[in-house]
Amino acid sequence: MTTEPAAQAALHDDLLGSAGDGPDREPGDEGASIWRVAARRLRRNPGAILGAVIVLVFVLVALLAPLLAPYGPQELPGRAEIRPTYIPGPSSEYLLGLDRYGGDLFSKLIWGARASLVIGVLSTLLGLAGGAVVGLVAGAFGGWVDTMTMRFVDLMLSVPSLLLAVSIAAVIGQSPVAVIVAIGVVQVPIFARLLRGTMLAQRGQDYVLAARSLGLSRRTVTMSHVLPNSLGPVIVQATLMLATAVIEAAALSFLGLGGGSPTTAEWGRMLTAAQNELEVAPRLALWPGALIAITALGFTLFGEALREALDPKTRKR
Amino acid sequence: MSAVDGVPLLSIRDLEVSFTTDHGTTTAVRGASFDVLAGETVAVVGESGSGKSTTAAAVIGLLAQNGRVSGGSILFDGTDVTARGGGIARMRGRDIGMVPQDPMSNLNPVIRVGAQIVEALEDNGVARGDAAWRRAVELLQEAGLPDAERRAQQYPHEFSGGMRQRALIAMGLSCRPRLLIADEPTSALDVTVQRTILDRLEALTHELGTAVLLITHDLGLAADRAQRVVVMYQGEVVEAGPAEQLLRDPQHEYTRRLLAAAPSLASRRIQLARRTGGRPEYGEDLLAPSADADGEHAPAAAAPPIVEVEDLTKVFRLRGKGLFSRSTELTAVDAVTFAIPRGTTTAVVGESGSGKSTVARMVLDLLEPTSGSIRVDGVEIGARTRAEEVAFRRKVQPIFQDPYSSLDPLYTIYRTVEEPLRAHEVGTAAQRRARVLELMDAVALPAALLRRYPAELSGGQRQRVAIARALALEPELVVCDEAVSALDVIVQSQILHLLADLQHRLGLSYLFISHDLAVVRQIADQVCVMEQGRIVEQGTVDDVFDRPQQAYTRALLDAIPGRRLDLGPQAA
Amino acid sequence: MVRLVLQRLALLVPTLFGLSVLLFLWVRALPGGPATALLGERATPDAVERINRLYGFDRPLHEQYVTWLGQLLQGNFGVSTRTARPVLDEFLARFPATIELTALALLIAVGVGIPLGYVAARHQGRLLDHTTVVASLLGVTIPVFFLAFLLKWMFAVQLGLFPSAGRQSASMVATHPTGFYVLDGLLTREWDAAWDALMHLVLPAIALGSIPLAIIARITRASVIEVQNADYVRTARAKGLGPGRLRRRVVLRNAMLPVSTTIGLQVGLLLSGAVLTETVFAFNGIGSFLANAVFNLDYAVLQGFILFIAVVYALVNLAVDVSYGLIDPRMRAR
């Protein structure tokens, strides 16, 4: 079937036609999928690197907590040394000092990372799964099901997220599970809206029409073209949601919805307990507070950088 | 007005423009030199990426932030505008005006159109207050905007594309500059609108004695409108000269190729060595009128047509804007009837909003008709069994306009081309692989591209991939929806030749949707001209193009730029 | 324009209706039912049954809902189990405090955020810009109540520049005709009272305004950068527009469109932030009242508060849309 002149034509096409596409292409782009290109762009972005480092350290600390922490999450090794007006500060034995109840602050911060990771990941997974179900149902059925579902989603979005989380947690009762469910449920409408929106946008793309023209079933088109291409924004949103989850979990703990005792190794809870010790030992508040902020910052930095790396509009820069 | 003897108004010498990017410095314009005399129209022609728009931006000092003039000079009336403090900021609007490309995005959306001209008049010290407003209305009138007094009070979103472009012309000429830079001033508009606007621009600048630097990708348009033409290619000026001479006797290889590829009404149906039956030949001469082929082109007239469309109608229900406003109906396609004889090309042409793409979607069974019937190979699309549907999908395949969105960005080229085979469970993995290679060969793409992703390919290459995918199942009908509209002329010509070649070899039938009559003339056997959902005229290409019966068809044909391309070397 | 307002008000009706159904079912989904919710810890089986009969909780759901909705429409939000007073009265008594606080917070957020974002955009890619970007990210990720702690500890406890808690100093004797303490001070010409109230507002307002400030600065920056690269800005330069007019009429006016929407969205954030900030500063507004309600699972208050916030939120967004129409002619046409 070879036609030599045609091959020549294609060569010219390369020679002449691609001139306009020149700036788009980068050296070493051979066989580069969107994800690989995004990874390369992330490596060049200092914000992304900082974010990734923070996230990595956080995850490692959370996973390796039993190895890293000198004491267990509930242990109160220094109980005997606490006086009403005096809480021992940093020493060789207690790296960051003790808290009001005689717990080792350093150990509790490490265990707190684990608590935050569990709450963040579980609630975001819950939100993602719920959002996917709602979004897919709305998108798949269309018509009035879609309208009603999206109205409901709008309704949920019309209540500020913290209040929504508070009211949900209040129904379930004061416990870590309540916090996870509350934060997760609040994320459902956000993911549902996002998924439905990106999938609708994908559906109008020519390559989806081309796939439909092949006679592929709706399900196959959705699973093999629409969904994979909608994944980018969802992953970005999930990363940003992890940041929100860490912050909101702390807020719910602060409002007393997290359950557990004041000695629980959870950052929000520790921060709340430290409230009364500001004059005696401000470090008790500074440490957990700063860790919440830095962890959330890490996820946000990474999420924003990922969004930028995946955005074809900014890709030329 | 003041044609100072010999001294050019604008003189560009050895201009070099570079851009700093993350990957270092790229040079967009290299050693470009040309002049524009007072009162003269000079066209700069080139493909995307040729540096033509960058040159224009350098003249008016509006390069993107990362760009700068890195060498050479631009003298306007003797002053070097590239020099620091050369005062280009003070010359903008007053001495050098600009009409930008896209009328939709170039007007400030939150300010009244009249006020946008007033601000130009005031800031350039031409007029103030009420006088400025009266002047703005006059200018809009002059640019051919009807009912200018009322229109000046409106906002850009209340204007159509053509009206906006008129406003932009009024703005560009508001302070009577001596040089007007028109950067693709009508590329975004329908041909008929394009023509009236260019006519008005030409008349106005002629009357005022304004020199015009016309930037365009369209050689035909340049030939029609300019006294002199400058051809740019990859940042360099490859040829410059009086329009007529350049068309008649192009010196540079690139100009020749451009000229040969440029579709015009003078071109004829691409014919592929039918007589000899040998290998198809490629080359410029294929575009030359081939009188011998006319009688040849009626294969299997007796066989039933591959597609019969009867009384096809599509009504869209538009939801009302408000909560309580009733929905309105829009008849996008109105009782359309045509047939596509086997092995031939039927083109549907029309301007934006004519309903031509809606027809394509319905023939592809991607959109359900409101009424009427479409029969493909004798089988009614609406009423068929599952087996018939599978057969239909194998028989009918699309090629879409935008090569950037028609391939799944996450699929390698191999997966893209293989997908139809896998979807229809054709052959074993090894057989499919062989078929993919065969297809790549057929569309003249190197097999090395198979592991690449669409983002790494040029527009022309992507369109070839789309063609390979469409051909994988050996279809009988290919629906090309503006399949070459997004491509530069030379690539466009190559793809058209490829399509013609494939048709010849594989006996394909095409439904070819296009807004470009010149392209249609090259590829089609029958033409349907659509206007507002209706077919106003249909017939063979020669009948419709040479003996148009309807006023609308004539208007469309008259509006096509490039009549002077007939002067080209092949005609000489 | 008038039509837009009417349409939006009409849309508010089904939204609130839907929300009221949800809230109604929410309290009935509580473990132990609404009686337990009402009684709290005093819920003995006997008491629950009495309450059920008294409030008609034993009747069919739809009947209960109609009764409840009727009460709502008459302004009866129920009775707080903690204070035993009508929820509405409690709200009205505390609302001025929260309005004062959120208004000042919003003022700070807008007054600092917009100029900051604009300046950052003008210096895009330079140190000032990078600093603003990182600071605004940090502004979003610092928990509001932690920032409140920090401010209180630094400026109230350590430096003693501002009072650390409450709405006015204990020593201050002042009359309060409106409930807005700063305004009251001005109206009654008790200048020191006004000043004292204002000083009490500063720290909580900064803490509360931090997130909106960061968000507004980021949106302003992004929006200005986008507008600066728009075709119409280039065209405006090409026609010889002076730098002043270019900035005011072209860049700023277009860049403010998305910013104005964002400001509207901040109100919800401010109201939920108030719950945390008011608690830290022992500021007696509806926020701290709600925090107590949460702590004591005072459902009537929670229910009323959510409904109340939804209405406020919707009205504020309507106001934003109207103001949006005033700057964007494309919206006005509808």
Concatenated DSSP letters of B308-328: EEEEEEEEEEEPPSSSSSPPE
In a domain, residue A97? The reply is no
Nearest residue of B to residue A13, measured between CA atoms: B491
Confidence tier at B324 by pLDDT (50, 70, 90): low
- Give whole-number Cα distances, C6 to A159, B16, B52, C3, C11, in Å: 22, 59, 52, 5, 9
Structure-derived torsion over alpha carbons of residues B266, B514, B262, B525, reported in degrees to the nearest 10 = -40
CA distance C130 to chain A (A): 10
Would the CB atoms of A34 and B22 count as touching at under 8 Å?
no
* Average pLDDT of every residue of chain C: 83
Between chain A and chain B, how many beta carbons pairs sit less than 8 Å apart?
162
Average pLDDT over residues B529-544: 92
Cα dihedral sign for A59, A63, A65, A67? Answer: negative
Cα C169-C171-C175 angle, rounded to 5 deg: 80
- Provide CATH code, domain B1-90+208-256: 3.40.50.300
Check whether B569 has a pLDDT greater than 50: no
CATH code for the domain in which residue A281 is found? 1.10.3720.10
Instruction: Give the pLDDT score at C249.
Output: 87
- Is residue A27 situated within a structural domain? no
User: pLDDT-based confidence at B266, cuts 50/70/90?
Assistant: low
How many Cβ atoms from other residues are within 10 Å of residue B304's Cβ?
Answer: 12
pLDDT of residue B2: 44
Q: Which of A6, A19, A34 sits opposite B444 (nearest CB)?
A: A6
Q: Does B23 touch chain A (CB under 8 A)?
A: yes
The closest alpha carbon to A211, from B495, B460, B422, belongs to B422
User: For B536, phi and psi rounded to 5 degrees?
Assistant: -90, -25
B395 burial level (CB within 10 Å; 0-12, 13-18, 19+): middle
Which chains contact C through at least 3 pairs of Cβ atoms less than 8 Å apart?
A, B
Contact between residue B349 and residue B517 where contact means Cβ atoms under 8 Å apart: yes
Tell me how close the Cα of B420 comes to any Cα of chain A, in angstroms: 6
Q: Which helix (H) or strand (E) holds A186?
A: helix A176-203
B chain contacts of residue C250, beta-carbon cutoff 8 Å: 108, 111
Q: How far does C280 lie from chain A, in Å, by closest CA?
A: 8
User: Which residue do the tokens 């100029």 mark?
Assistant: C115
Lowest mean pLDDT among A292-301, B447-456, B484-493, C47-56: C47-56
The answer, for C242 touching chain B at a CB cutoff of 8 Å, is: yes
Contacts of A278 in chain C (CB under 8 A): 149, 152-153, 157
> How distant is the Cα of C326 from the closest Cα of chain A, in angstroms?
24
Give the Cα separation of B439 and B430 in Å (integer): 14
- The tens digit of pLDDT for each residue in B501-526 reads 999 889 999 999 998 888 898 899 99
* CA-to-CA dists, residue C318 to A147, B470, B540, C9, C325, angstroms: 22, 50, 59, 8, 11
Mutation pick from A4, A30, A208, A213 vs chain B, by most beta carbons of B within 10 Å, is: A213
Domain total in chain A? 1
What is the pLDDT, as a whole number, of residue B374? 93
Chain B residue numbers touching C318 (CB-CB < 8 A): none
Pick from C294, C307, C308 the residue to mutate for testing the A interface (most A CBs within 10 Å). C294
Touching chains, A (3+ CB pairs < 8 A):
B, C
Which has the minimum average pLDDT: A94-108, B32-46, C117-131? A94-108
Interface membership of A5 toward B (CB under 8 Å): yes
Closest to C309 (Cβ–Cβ): which among A151, A163, A274? A163
Of A55, A52, A118, residue with least CA distance to A267? A118
In angstroms, the separation between the Cα of residue A2 and the nearest Cα of chain B is 6
Confidence of residue B263 (pLDDT cuts 50, 70, 90): confident
Instruction: Please list every residue in chain A whose beta carbon sits closer than 8 Å to the beta carbon of residue C26.
Output: 167, 171
pLDDT at position B269 is 72
Strands B67-76 and B10-21, how do they pair?
Answer: antiparallel
Q: What is the distance in angstroms between the Cα of B235 and the nearest Cα belonging to chain A?
A: 10
CA-CA distance, A164 to C203, in Å (whole number)?
A: 26
Which residues of B are less than 8 Å from A14 in CB distance? Answer: 458, 460-461
CA distance A183 to B411: 36
Mean residue pLDDT of chain B comes to: 85
pLDDT confidence of residue C112: 95
User: Domain limits of chain B?
Assistant: 1-90+208-256, 262-320+327-377+476-572
Asked if B420's CB is within 8 angstroms of A228's CB, the reply is no
Q: Which residues of B touch C240 (CB under 8 A)?
A: 90-94, 120, 123-124, 175
Q: CB contact, 8 Å: B239 with chain A?
A: no
φ, ψ for residue B230, nearest 5 deg: -115, 125
The answer, for A217 touching chain B at a CB cutoff of 8 Å, is: no
Q: Return the structure tokens found at A82.
A: 């606490």
Say how many CA atoms lie within 13 Å of A92 toward its Cβ: 0
Can you identify the CATH homologous superfamily of domain B262-320+327-377+476-572? P-loop containing nucleotide triphosphate hydrolases (3.40.50.300)
DSSP state letters, C135-173: HHHHHHHS-HHHHHHHHIIIIIIIS--S--SSSS-TT--
Residues 263-292 of chain A whose Cβ lies under 8 A from any Cβ of chain B: none
Q: Do the domains at B1-90+208-256 and B262-320+327-377+476-572 have one common CATH topology?
A: yes
Is A86 within a domain?
Answer: no
Residue from the list A159, A279, A301 with its beta carbon closest to the beta carbon of C306: A159
Test B120 with C239 for CB contact under 8 angstroms: yes
pLDDT for B61 beyond 80 = yes
Tell the residue number behind the tokens 């159509």, with chain if given. B160
Residues of chain B found within 8 Å of residue C328, distances taken between Cβ atoms: 109-110
Which residues in chain C have their CB less than 8 angstroms from residue B158's CB? 333
Shortest CA gap B92–chain C (Å): 5
A58 within some domain: yes
- Which chain A residues touch B283 with a CB distance below 8 Å? 5
Task: Locate A226 and state its tokens.
Answer: 């629409």
Q: Count residue pairs from A and C with Cβ separation < 8 A.
A: 119
**CA-CA distances (angstroms) from residue A228 to A127, A224, B165, C104?**
19, 7, 41, 46
Q: How confident is the model at residue B276 (pLDDT cuts 50, 70, 90)?
A: very low
| Local confidence band at B325 (pLDDT 50, 70, 90 cut-offs) | low
Q: Which residues of C touch A160 (CB under 8 A)?
A: 268-269, 271-272, 309, 313
Is residue B491 within 8 Å of residue B313, measured between CB atoms?
no
pLDDT tier at C1, thresholds 50, 70, 90: low
CATH architecture of C96-285: Orthogonal Bundle (1.10)
Q: Do B93 and C240 touch (CB under 8 A)?
A: yes
Residue A16 maps to a domain: no
Q: To the nearest whole percent, how much of chain B has pLDDT over 70?
A: 89
Nearest to B238, CA basis, from A16, A22, A8: A16
Report the alpha-carbon distance of residue C290 to residue C305 in Å, rounded. Answer: 8
Chunked into runs of 10 residues, chain A (317 residues) has average pLDDT values of 39 36 40 74 85 93 87 78 75 78 85 90 94 84 80 79 81 82 91 87 87 87 87 89 90 80 81 80 86 92 87 51
Looking at the partner chain, which of C140, C149, C309 has a beta carbon nearest the beta carbon of A285?
A: C149
Residue B469 at interface with chain A, using a CB cutoff of 8 Å: yes
DSSP B451: G
Class of residue C164 by CB neighbours under 10 A (exposed 0-12, middle 13-18, buried 19+):
middle
Q: What DSSP string describes B87-139?
A: -HHHHBTTTEEEE-S-TTTSS-TTS-HHHHHHHHHHHTTS--HHHHHHHHHHH
Is C68 in contact with C303 (CB distance < 8 Å)? no
Separation CA C106–CA C205 (nearest Å):
8
Q: Does A235 touch chain B (CB under 8 A)?
A: no
Q: Is residue B281 classed as helix, strand or coil in its secondary structure?
A: coil
SS (H, E, C) B125-161: CCCCHHHHHHHHHHHHHHCCCCCHHHHCCCCHHHCCH
What is the domain extent for residue A186? 43-71+107-314
Least confident of A43-52, B104-113, B319-328: B319-328
Any CB–CB contact under 8 A between A154 and chain B?
Answer: no
Q: Is residue A158 in some structural domain?
A: yes
Mutation target to probe the A interface, by most A beta carbons within 10 A, among C226, C272, C311, C315 is C272
- State which H helix or E strand residue B33 sits in: strand B24-36
More confident residue, A130 or B401: A130
Instruction: Output DSSP code: residue C248.
Output: I
- Model pLDDT, residue A204: 80
Is A167 in contact with C15 (Cβ distance < 8 A)? Answer: no
Q: Do B120 and C11 touch (CB under 8 A)?
A: no
